[in-house]
Amino acid sequence: MSNDSNHSQLVDEIHQLVAGFRTVLMATAAADGEPEISYSPYVIDDGSLYVFVSDLALHTGNLKENPRASVLFVENEEGCENLHARRRATFRCRAGLIAREDPRCDVVLDKMTEQFGDIIPVIRSLSDFHLFALRPLTVVFVKGFANAHTLDFSSF
């Protein structure tokens, strides 16, 4: 297999893994460097992963102060053959705040409403919720023991 076709196959496998989730595990860092991990529902649109998060959540302040995040999609424990070798994709991302006035905000929040239902219009009306675009830079895709791949990954 050529490198191009191998890369394409890996990207397809990453997309398949990510498609099986409605939430993402998200690691951010506080201003003092302390790590935080949390999760959020997400949607993918126009090459980015979007999260709509509240100021009450630590990750929101972290993303505002430090536009870097790492997101993880990991195979469910119940479906894997070996807990030490769960399939997973870890993305290093650059975060950007999307203003409510930006037309992308309405597009993404409408998409979230389609996927997550009536809760989105409720939280959409709350001023403490903010939309962030997480643009992937690289991904480490682990398919099993001794089977890890690091790829440039400029969009979902």
Nearest to 18 by CA among 60, 54, 49: 49
Q: How many domains does the chain have?
A: 1
Q: Please state, for a pLDDT cut of 90, what percent of the chain lies above it.
A: 85
Range of the domain at 117: 3-152
Nearest to 20 by CA among 75, 61, 63: 75
pLDDT average, residue stretch 26-44: 95
Structure tokens at 132: 């962030």
Q: Which residues of 50-65 are buried (b: 16+ CB within 10 A; e: fewer)?
A: bbbbeeebebbbbbee
DSSP structure class, residue 118: T
Which amino acid appears at position 54 of this protein?
S
Residue 88 predicted with pLDDT over 50: yes
CATH number at residue 29: 2.30.110.10
- Model pLDDT, residue 5: 74
What pLDDT, in 10s, does the model give residues 111-143? 999 999 999 999 999 999 999 999 999 999 999
Structure tokens at 60: 């929101």
* DSSP SS3 for 9: helix
pTM for this model (two decimals): 0.92
